[in-house]
Amino acid sequence: MKSYDVAIIGSGPGGYVAAIRCAQLGMKTAIIEKYSTLGGTCLNVGCIPSKALLSSSHHYEEATKHFEDHGIEIPGEIKVNLEKMIARKQAVVDQTIGGIDFLMKKNNIDVYEGLGSFKDATHIKIDGKDAGEIEAKNTIIATGSKPSNLPFIKLDKERIITSTEALKLKEVPKHLIIIGGGVIGLELGQVYRRLGAEVTVVEYMDRILPTMDAGLSKELNKVFKKAKCKMMVSHKVQSVERKGDEVIVKAENKKGEVVEFKGDYCLVSVGRRPYTDGLNAEAAGVKINERGQVEVNDHLQTSTKNIYAIGDVVRGAMLAHKAEEEGVFVAETLAGQKPHIDYNLIPGVVYTWPEVAAVGKTEEELKEDKVEYKVGQFPFRALGRARASGDIDGFVKILADKTTDEVLGVHMIGARCADLIAEAVTAMEFRASAEDISRYSHAHPTFAEAIKEAALAATDDRALHA
Ligand code: FAD
Ligand code: NAD
């Protein structure tokens, strides 16, 4: 039986990054993945394929709606070839997965294909292509998550689907009904709206993106409405039924009336649940809590001393970069270092267009915590760069402590915000004040100038261009 310093179960961004960092730190490392491809949800059916389709559909929308504004005329009809678009997405996924295979080899990490399950705290059984057993001094559980469902919905995976099927549809839906106005619903809703589907978003809470700053929800809701999506907030779904090629969704509105939506596809995107099926965690004494998460302490250590857990399977945001940070954290802990993660500074991004991005506290959280704060906000439409490219929707909002001026939260919606948020994370990591940001130079003309202007607005209400 082969023996390792560390075995990692699951090869998503948490698991494969943990494996690389363990190997870099000199540990003999194995990674076990039940599927034939590495990369987990993120690479196979999550971040990468969804962003490929968002990019392709964005190009289509630009070509059909905005090229003319720029004086570009395309003679004849511009058409979508969905089969080719999905094939391109798959090629991007395959190439990215190939990169992980390369990294495993480069770092001398042994890869086992098969379902990993605990025999005890130091032995893992592998069922599948590389069947057998290995011994590991330490194990990192990185088994990720799967889509959640509502108890009364029968997912047939043909017309009543999750994000996994929505990434490989064979036709553009005529009417896509989306249950859940969170990240997945809005990203994939925008993909199919751009490609020509009628889109209805049915959200239980009184706003889309209910965990983000309300200002962002409001602005993105406007964008979706402008694109003629039906945004049905405060609607509680009661039933989803398929009749032939038709899907009927019934939901109760605020007044207690039952509203019916008829479409040809229904995407259920009501969150994801931690995944520990088949892991046999109890054989190793690893506790799973009532929410299905592997229970961990501040060191990401489970109830069994030599077993750690990271990523979507533990508490916190279900984000690839959060899983990666935790992978590095555990590897460095095992090597005797003292790493640190500031969970308040893990940014959240929605890759719609305009993009939505945030870090730190929302206004709602600051009010709840009774923190006195000031607000500096700057609209993209006041920027030369935004007008030049035609991307004028959105704003940057900076929340700073009323007394110390320390930046407590940055919330933005607009072109390239997914990348702009990195400046806010850096500033907050170094505990910058709004005045600090307002005093360093931002290249002109850029979208980043909105951050400087919002900082000026927060400092003394002295934005220069508004
Ligand atoms: P996962 O990526 O879920 O990987 C877990 C792996 O463990 C899987 O490969 C699974 O097969 C394997 N496994 C499970 N049990 C066993 C076992 N017993 N034995 C062997 N292998 C096992 N996040 C972002 O930050 N940005 C985005 O843009 C983004 N977009 C997304 C889009 C979609 C459509 C979805 C669904 C998710 C998206 N996410 C995004 C979330 C992101 O994919 C997850 O947060 C991330 O993949 C979590 O990483 P992980 O390593 O914890 O788990
Ligand atoms: P989510 O938590 O973002 O959104 C789920 C939405 O469904 C919420 O708005 C919630 O109020 C709503 N909802 C719940 N029950 C409902 C009901 N009965 N009826 C109507 N609405 C209901 O979850 P998601 O969009 O499924 O995404 C899952 C996870 O994947 C998220 O945690 C997210 O972090 C991650 N993800 C991230 C990205 C990104 O970073 N860009 C992209 C996709 C997914």
Sign of CA dihedral 76, 81, 87, 89: positive
Q: How many CB atoms lie within 10 A of CB 254?
A: 10
Nearest CA to ligand 1 atom 36: 46
Residue 350 Cβ contacting ligand 2 at under 6 Å: yes
CATH class belonging to 345-458: alpha beta
Q: Considering every ligand atom shown, identify the ligand nearest to the alpha carbon of residue 309 and give its number.
A: 1
Query: Using CA positions, which residue lies closest to atom 2 of ligand 2?
Result: 271
The verdict on whether residue 271 carries a ligand-binding annotation is yes
pLDDT at 464: 87
Q: For ligand 1, atom 35, which residue shows the shortest CA distance?
A: 46
CATH pick for 2-146+273-341 out of 1.10.3720.10, 3.50.50.60, 3.90.950.20, 3.40.50.20: 3.50.50.60
Residues 59, 66, 70, 444: which is the catalytic one? 444
351 Cβ below 6 A of ligand 2: yes
Say if ligand 2 is within 6 A of residue 182 CB. Answer: yes
Distance CA 234, CA 207 (A): 7
The tokens for 436 are 């600090």
123: annotated active-site residue: no
In this predicted model, what pLDDT tens digit does every residue of 96-142 receive, in sequence order? Answer: 999 999 999 999 999 999 999 999 999 999 999 999 999 999 999 99
CB of 406 closer than 8 Å to CB of 425: no
3-class secondary-structure state, position 351: coil
CA of 270 to the centre of ligand 2 (A): 5
CA distances from 55 to 20, 26, 85, 174, 304 (A): 29, 39, 10, 21, 44
- How far apart CA 371 and CA 381 sit, in angstroms, is 30
Q: Is 261 in the pocket of ligand 2 (CB under 6 A)?
A: no
CB 7 within 8 A of CB 124: yes
Burial of 306 (0-12, 13-18, 19+ CB in 10 A): middle
Residue whose Cα lies nearest atom 34 of ligand 1: it is 46
CATH number belonging to domain 160-270: 3.50.50.60
Can you give the pLDDT of all 466 residues of the chain as single tens digits?
999 999 999 999 999 999 999 999 999 999 999 999 999 999 999 999 999 999 999 999 999 999 999 999 999 999 999 999 999 999 999 999 999 999 999 999 999 999 999 999 999 999 999 999 999 999 999 999 999 999 999 999 999 999 999 999 999 999 999 999 999 999 999 999 999 999 999 999 999 999 999 999 999 999 999 999 999 999 999 999 999 999 999 999 999 999 999 999 999 999 999 999 999 999 999 999 999 999 999 999 999 999 999 999 999 999 999 999 999 999 999 999 999 999 999 999 999 999 999 999 999 999 999 999 999 999 999 999 999 999 999 999 999 999 999 999 999 999 999 999 999 999 999 999 999 999 999 999 999 999 999 999 998 888 888 7
List the end-to-end C-alpha distance of the chain, in Å, as a whole number: 69
**151 alpha carbon, distance to own chain's centre:** 24
Identical fold between 160-270 and 345-458: no
Distance from C-alpha of 179 to C-alpha of 249, rounded to nearest angstrom: 9
CB 183 near ligand 2, within 6 Å = yes
Atom number, ligand 2, closest to the C-alpha of residue 312: 32
Ligand with minimal distance to 39 CA: 1
* pLDDT for the residue 50: 98
Question: Can you give the residue ranges of every domain in the chain?
Answer: 2-146+273-341, 160-270, 345-458
Pocket of ligand 2 contains residue 316 by CB under 6 Å: no
Q: Is residue 180 marked as binding? A: yes
